[in-house]
Amino acid sequence: MSTSTYTAHDSHAINSMGLWLFIVSETALFSAFIFARYYLTGTDQPSELNIGLGYAITAVLLSSSLLAYGAERRIAKGDRRGFLWLTLGTIVLGALFLVGVGLEWREAAHAFAPPDLFGVVFFSLTGLHATHMVTGLIALCFVWLVGWRGGFGATDHWGVTGVVRYWHFVDAVWLTVFPTLYLV
Amino acid sequence: MQLAPTAFLRDWAFGPLAFGMLVGLVMFFAAAGLIMGVRAWAGTEPVAFGPVVLGAYWFGLAGWLLGIGVWSKWAKEWLGLPVDRTMKTGWQRYFDFTTDHKVIGVQYLVTFLSMFLLAGVLAMLMRIEHMSGDQVLFSPAQYNYVMSLHGITMVFVAVAAVIGGFGNYAVPILIGAKDMAYPRLNALSFWLAAAVPVLLAATFFAGGFDAGWTAYAPLSTENSDGQVLFNLAFITLGLSSIAGSINFIVTVIKLRAHGMGFDRLPIFVWAVFAMSLLGFFFTQYIAAAMLMTLLDRVFGMAFFDFTEGGDPLLYQHIFWFYSHPAVYIMGVPGLALALEVISHFSRKPLFAYRWVVGGILGITALSAIVWAHHMFTAGLSTAELFFFITTTEVISIPTGLIFLGALGTIWRGRLWLRTPMLFALAVVFNFLIGGLTGIFLADVFTDIHLQDTFFVVAHFHYTIVGAGIFGLFAGIYYWFPKITGRTYSEHLAQLHFWWTFLSFNLTFLPMFWLGLNGMNRRIAVYPEELEFLNLLVSLGGFSLGASFLVFLYNILKSWIRGPVAEADPWRARTLEWQTSSPPPVENFTEAPRVVSGPYDYGSPSTAHAVFGASTNPDGAG
Amino acid sequence: MAEICHKTSSILTTSSGTTTVIDLTGSEPQAHERKTLLNGRNVVTVFVIWLGLTVLGVFGAYHADIYPIAGNHLASQVDDAFRLLMMLAVPVFTFVVTILVYSMVRFRRKTDADDTPPHTFHSHGGVIWGWLVVTSGLTIAVLIHPGFTGLRELTADRHQDMVVEALAAQWSWNFTFPEHGVKLDKANDLMLPQGTRIRFDVTSRDVVHSLWLPMYRMKIDAVPGRTNHIYLTTGEPISFSEDPNVRVQCAELCGTGHPRMQVRVSIVDQQEFDIWLGGLEPVIVGNE
């Protein structure tokens, strides 16, 4: 039976566990909306759905996750320059993704605006995901700013690890949301 | 980057509160102005309650949190700025962004007890209305508002009072930790929750809300504006619960003192841990249900709008998918607190400890798959009815283990019938009635008639008030000496107990009969034939309300000038009693090492824990 | 008894937590070290009290006349189920309460010094397994009957002599008799023929309502966008004026008019029903 001591706590392990729990918790929120999608509309899709654009922004988001992974590796090796550039790249790709979502919304608002039922699940799922993207972008900006001011180091970069993990999570959510809306 | 005038925040007792309100209001109105501006620019009517409040609320909430201390004591750190590490002392701690879990526990207790008493006043008003079968006091709209406000306030109290109050106060001490895993997140959780009563009060100025605490769509998508605030309050408390639950889970897993294995965890800690496992996951579903309602209301979506193909039953599924686990979140901590007290006051080990833990975990697991028993009359298929009747009935088996634990512990003990013990034994009695009547509701055949009647009202008051809130009061009397360092008046406390216990049963027992005989719930008007028993219930209710005056008097007087309490007035073994009353900041002067179970009474040679860096593995002390 | 307890205490305090052995026979006081949980005299006393209370309680539960008027055979069956559940709940209730009250009296701490019980035990395999077997057995029994049998009773017979469409709206009930082509808007009074199996097709025009007929123990939600069905067979003639439970009541909170969203019902003979039906407004096809 594992027990911890009274005095020395591994703050990294504690923070990490909390973040994992938060991520699991967030999956519940998305699962409710994904459930609503199947419950209300089955697997219906309107023909106006721009699948090409969907694939494109998915590729952008996946690339941003790769850059985020690289950024974390860089700072772990003490390479601040590389870390800052890669973080910036993540931010740019993330923003690009949001622009793509915006383009989709413009098309969707003409083709199947709520209260059209597919529009309801489309806008709420992508909107919920985009909200998480915006949160992630703000956090990435913080991380970049702190790094730029000389914060974080090879041994001390929980902030980076945490935000990057959250970013991967938001990415993974998209990999569920995208097929749910576009592919099934 | 000096957002807050530091001296003002540091030196004036109400500085943080005032500054939080100020920043919150400024951000709220700034955001509201911005939204209205954008609406005007886009050519829509600028002033619209739903979109403006829904948008501006989050800015107001963020401003409130930043102003009260999140910025100066936490967020500045993210930018590499120096944070304010000063801590107020004395009573001023309670009005600040204080990270001490004991302060936060008391903040929760006082806040939610106040809400409990206010919502109790609403119940009195409802009972005045029910003294006659006709309308006497309220218009139908007023009655629905009062009833809904009573319901949701009490639900919030039941969710947050025991876990938020005693979970925060006791869990870290009981496991021998200095504080919670995330003390600042903990403070954030409380100040988030503090926005909830403000929102509920604000509904009064927004036309109230009349959809009950369950807020079924589509009623809740088309009633008055107050419903928006209700939904925001539910989401806000949900956020607070999720943060709190994650905090408890990590605290219990990571911060247990040396030697505090899971097999030595006090049962109350187990309950808070298990309910946090429910809370951190399932609370997202209430957020989803509330969010979908708001999207329907404000953004013209159609999740629950049948005219567009939406389905009102979707709301009920998602709502109960959270809310059924939530009724265990409301009840089980109180039950476990009762078991805790029963062991200490029987001077005997908690009987079948592992089985009781198994029972709690069994309830935790099963509570996820029983939700639709709230929907037996909603038009479910026979297969669905079959499934949910089975899971619901089966949940009585793990619940039974909790009774086994209680009975086995008092059996042949040395029962010390002080007030905490009386409340704890009353929990067993009340929950027995609540549980047994639950079987009538779990069975589709009988439930179809009883669904949405006073039988249900009586049933959930017996479980949630009878177990959850009676457990809360067991905890209040049990830990009062520890929290305040003073002793309450035992005579007044026992008067309070018997008065409350008898009035409670006088109030709620007849309701079973009322429901069976045709009184549906959430009504101001009912058949004349039921007037006499309703009058009796009302009198019981008034008596129940009055009994809390004794409580208030006793607690307030004793807190100010009660006799000073010893460190361990109950001669209990658990860790909170092995430190001073009240405990110091960070709880223990020396690190505890746990050497035996928390309830090993009858073995005077061993203590639960030893203090200091002893190397003796037996730890006799 | 007390002496025995004190003798054993010295032995047991050093070995607390050791498994104890059941002694149900209560034969020899010499077996005192092992008699901790199921001590003969206490167990016998509790058993006698429990038995007495249970006999009284079951008798009371069987005869208690607490039910509203039962308008048909199914309602009586529901009441029988309710009665059975009460009779099964009584022994559980008396068991817990007897131990609770007996312990409060018998095992009360008498003096401040009297702080340590003569026996401590952590667990008891026999008692735990016995408890599990009994509670599981009761649960399964209740699940099968009246659980599953009741479910079958509700869903088995899917035929009807007559269809009534009930459309709920804030805050009134609108009934249509499709086979007769007549309707009853904003009904205050509803007549139904006696001894007839009726299918109600229930839906709503706005929010969720619930159609409740207390005298038939029958209820179904009126969910907008869905049509729910219930089947019931009307019983003997009776009317609202004789008993307030002969009514249709909205049972789901639906706004300000909720408590008054009720319809007085009369169960009448076929002839009277036909006359009443003849006086109703015809449904105009294509209207609405």
Tell me the sheet residues that pair with C222.
C209
For residue C96, the 8-state DSSP code is H
Tokens of residue B458, six digits: 């009586």
Distance of CA B324 to the CA centre of its chain: 14
Query: Would you tell me which residues 8-37 of chain B have a C-beta closer than 8 angstroms to some C-beta of chain A?
Result: none
Specify if A43 maps to a domain.
no
- pLDDT score of B275 more than 80: yes
Half-sphere exposure of B341 (CA within 13 A, CB side): 29
Tell me the sheet residues that pair with B324.
none
Closest Cα in chain B to A25? B281
Q: Å from A3 to nearest chain B CA?
A: 6
Asked if B526 has any chain C CB less than 8 Å from its own CB, the reply is yes
Smallest CA-to-CA distance from B88 within B69, B71, B105, B61 is with: B69
Residue B6: pLDDT band with limits 50, 70, 90: low
Range B62-83 average pLDDT: 90
Query: Is B215 or C26 the better-scoring residue by pLDDT?
Result: B215
Report chain B residues whose CB lies below 8 A from the CB of C166: none
What tens digit of pLDDT does each residue of B20-66 get? 999 999 999 999 999 999 999 999 999 999 999 999 999 999 999 99
What tens digit of pLDDT does each residue of B491-506 get? 999 999 999 999 999 9
Sign of CA dihedral B248, B250, B251, B256: positive
* Type of residue found at B84: D
Query: Is B233 or C284 the better-scoring residue by pLDDT?
Result: B233
Domains of chain C: 2-110+118-155 (no CATH), 162-282 (2.60.40.420)
Smallest CA-to-CA distance from C132 within B403, B328, B240, A84 is with: B403
Please name the residues in contact with A131: beta carbons below 8 A apart, sequence gap of 6 or more.
none
Domains in chain A: how many in total? 1
Report chain B residues whose CB lies below 8 A from the CB of C42: 411-412
Burial-class residue C160 by CB neighbours within 10 Å (0-12, 13-18, 19+).
Answer: middle
- pLDDT score of A125 more than 80: yes
The region that residue B249 occupies, defined by phi over 0 for left and psi between -120 and 50 for alpha, beta otherwise, is alpha
Tokens of residue B260, six digits: 């505090």
Query: Would you tell me which residues 574-603 of chain B have a C-beta closer than 8 angstroms to some C-beta of chain C?
Result: 600-603
Contact (CB<8Å) B525/C96: no
Distances (CA, A) of C172 to B88, B257, C227, C257, C262: 60, 63, 17, 8, 7
Specify if A114 maps to a domain.
yes
Burial-class residue A7 by CB neighbours within 10 Å (0-12, 13-18, 19+).
Answer: exposed
- pLDDT score of B335 more than 70: yes
**Confidence (pLDDT) at C22:** 38
**Confidence (pLDDT) at B394:** 96
Task: Give the integer Cα–Cα distance in Å for C271 and C194.
Answer: 10
Contact (CB<8Å) C251/B349: no
Report chain B residues whose CB lies below 8 A from the CB of C260: 140, 525
Task: Give the integer Cα–Cα distance in Å for C64 and B446.
Answer: 17
Residue C2: pLDDT band with limits 50, 70, 90: very low
Each domain of chain B, given as residue ranges in start order, spans: 99-561
Task: Give the integer Cα–Cα distance in Å for B408 and B339.
Answer: 11
Contact (CB<8Å) C224/B433: no
- Select the residue of B182, B262, B284 nearest A32 (Cβ to Cβ): B284
Distances (CA, A) of B565 to A38, B477, B569, B582, B584: 60, 13, 7, 9, 15
Asked if B311 has any chain C CB less than 8 Å from its own CB, the reply is yes
**Confidence (pLDDT) at B605:** 63
C197-204 β-sheet, strand order: C228-233, C197-204, C162-169, C172-177, C182-184, C281-282
Tokens of residue B404, six digits: 């086994």
Task: Give the integer Cα–Cα distance in Å for B467 and B336.
Answer: 9
> B99-561 is classed in which CATH architecture?
Up-down Bundle (1.20)
- pLDDT score of A3 more than 50: no
- pLDDT score of B89 more than 90: no
- pLDDT score of B4 more than 80: no
**Confidence (pLDDT) at B9:** 65
- pLDDT score of A46 more than 60: yes
Q: Check: CB of residue B473 under 8 Å from CB of residue B423.
A: yes
Instruction: Give buried/exposed letters for A62-90 (b at 16+ CB in 10 A, else e).
Output: eebbebbebbbebbbeeebeebbbbbbbb
**Confidence (pLDDT) at B601:** 87
- pLDDT score of B613 more than 70: no
- pLDDT score of B456 more than 90: yes
Tokens of residue C241, six digits: 């004026």
Residue B436: pLDDT band with limits 50, 70, 90: very high
Burial-class residue B614 by CB neighbours within 10 Å (0-12, 13-18, 19+).
Answer: middle
Q: Check: CB of residue B320 under 8 Å from CB of residue B384.
A: no
Q: Which residue has the tokens 């809904």?
A: B148
What tens digit of pLDDT does each residue of A56-68 get? 999 999 999 999 9
Smallest CA-to-CA distance from B68 within B217, B192, B165, B245 is with: B192
**Confidence (pLDDT) at C183:** 94
- pLDDT score of A154 more than 70: yes
Please state, rounded to an integer, the average pLDDT across all residues of chain C: 86
What pTM was estimated for this model as a whole? Answer: 0.93
Rg of chain C over Cα atoms, rounded to whole angstroms, equals 29
Range B96-114 average pLDDT: 96
Residue C41: pLDDT band with limits 50, 70, 90: confident
Please name the residues in contact with B69: beta carbons below 8 A apart, sequence gap of 6 or more.
B9, B16, B20, B84, B96, B97, B187, B191
Least confident of B1-10, B358-367, C182-191, C242-251: B1-10
Report chain B residues whose CB lies below 8 A from the CB of C37: 408, 411-412
- pLDDT score of B476 more than 60: yes
Residue A6: pLDDT band with limits 50, 70, 90: very low
Task: Give the integer Cα–Cα distance in Å for B154 and B115.
Answer: 8
Domain containing residue A103 = 50-183
Count of other CB atoms within 10 angstroms of residue C112 = 8
What tens digit of pLDDT does each residue of C167-222 get? 999 999 999 999 999 999 998 899 999 999 999 999 999 999 999 999 999 999 99
Q: The complex's ipTM?
A: 0.93
Task: Give the integer Cα–Cα distance in Å for A134 and A131.
Answer: 5
**Confidence (pLDDT) at B594:** 93
Tell me the sheet residues that pair with C199.
C163, C231
- Select the residue of C85, C114, C220 nearest B446 (Cβ to Cβ): C85
Distances (CA, A) of A170 to A100, A134, A163, A167: 16, 10, 11, 5
Q: Check: CB of residue C262 under 8 Å from CB of residue C254.
A: no
Contact (CB<8Å) C253/B429: no
Smallest CA-to-CA distance from B337 within B311, B367, B366, B360 is with: B360
- pLDDT score of C18 more than 60: no
Q: Which residue has the tokens 């597919």?
A: A118
Report chain A residues whose CB lies below 8 A from the CB of B305: 115
Q: Check: CB of residue B343 under 8 Å from CB of residue B574.
A: no
The region that residue B587 occupies, defined by phi over 0 for left and psi between -120 and 50 for alpha, beta otherwise, is left
**Confidence (pLDDT) at C87:** 97
Report chain B residues whose CB lies below 8 A from the CB of C150: 443-446
Residue C32: pLDDT band with limits 50, 70, 90: very low
Contact (CB<8Å) A25/B249: no
Range B270-276 average pLDDT: 97
Burial-class residue A182 by CB neighbours within 10 Å (0-12, 13-18, 19+).
Answer: middle
Instruction: Provide the 3-class DSSP secondary structure of residue C232.
Output: strand
- pLDDT score of B258 more than 80: yes
The set of chains that have 3 or more CB pairs under 8 A with C is B
Distances (CA, A) of B183 to B85, B190, B272, B595: 13, 11, 17, 27
What tens digit of pLDDT does each residue of C102-121 get? 999 999 988 877 777 877 78
- pLDDT score of B127 more than 80: yes
The region that residue B200 occupies, defined by phi over 0 for left and psi between -120 and 50 for alpha, beta otherwise, is alpha
Tell me the sheet residues that pair with C172.
C169
Query: Is C156 or B233 the better-scoring residue by pLDDT?
Result: B233
Burial-class residue A141 by CB neighbours within 10 Å (0-12, 13-18, 19+).
Answer: middle
Range B112-126 average pLDDT: 97
Distance of CA C108 to the CA centre of its chain: 36
Range C90-112 average pLDDT: 94
Half-sphere exposure of B584 (CA within 13 A, CB side): 7
pLDDT over 90 percentage in chain B: 90
Residue C154: pLDDT band with limits 50, 70, 90: very high
SS (H, E, C) chain A: CCCCCCCCCCHHHHHHHHHHHHHHHHHHHHHHHHHHHHHHHCCCCCCCCCHHHHHHHHHHHHHHHHHHHHHHHHHHCCCHHHHHHHHHHHHHHHHHHHHHHHHHHHHHHHHCCCCCHHHHHHHHHHHHHHHHHHHHHHHHHHHHHHHHCCCCCCCCCHHHHHHHHHHHHHHHHHHHHHHHHHHC
Tokens of residue B271, six digits: 């309950």
Residue C8: pLDDT band with limits 50, 70, 90: very low
- pLDDT score of B140 more than 70: yes
Please name the residues in contact with A120: beta carbons below 8 A apart, sequence gap of 6 or more.
A40, A114, B295, B301, B302, B303, B308, B310
Please name the residues in contact with B90: beta carbons below 8 A apart, sequence gap of 6 or more.
none
Task: Give the integer Cα–Cα distance in Å for A113 and A128.
Answer: 16
Contact (CB<8Å) A17/B250: yes
Task: Give the integer Cα–Cα distance in Å for C119 and C17.
Answer: 10
Specify if A177 maps to a domain.
yes
Phi (first) and psi of residue C111, to 5 degrees: -130, 165
Count of other CB atoms within 10 angstroms of residue C270 = 11
Contact (CB<8Å) A4/B249: no
Least confident of A77-86, B6-15, B579-588, C66-75: B6-15
**Confidence (pLDDT) at A116:** 93
- CATH number, domain of A102, equals 1.20.120.80
Residue B5: pLDDT band with limits 50, 70, 90: low
**Confidence (pLDDT) at B111:** 97
Report chain A residues whose CB lies below 8 A from the CB of B303: 36, 40, 120, 124
Sign of CA dihedral C64, C67, C69, C71: negative
**Confidence (pLDDT) at B53:** 96
Sign of CA dihedral B6, B7, B11, B13: negative
Distances (CA, A) of B589 to B93, B597, B611: 21, 22, 9
Please state, rounded to an integer, the average pLDDT across all residues of chain B: 94
**Confidence (pLDDT) at C9:** 36
- pLDDT score of C20 more than 60: no
What tens digit of pLDDT does each residue of B316-332 get? 999 999 999 999 999 99
**Confidence (pLDDT) at C36:** 64
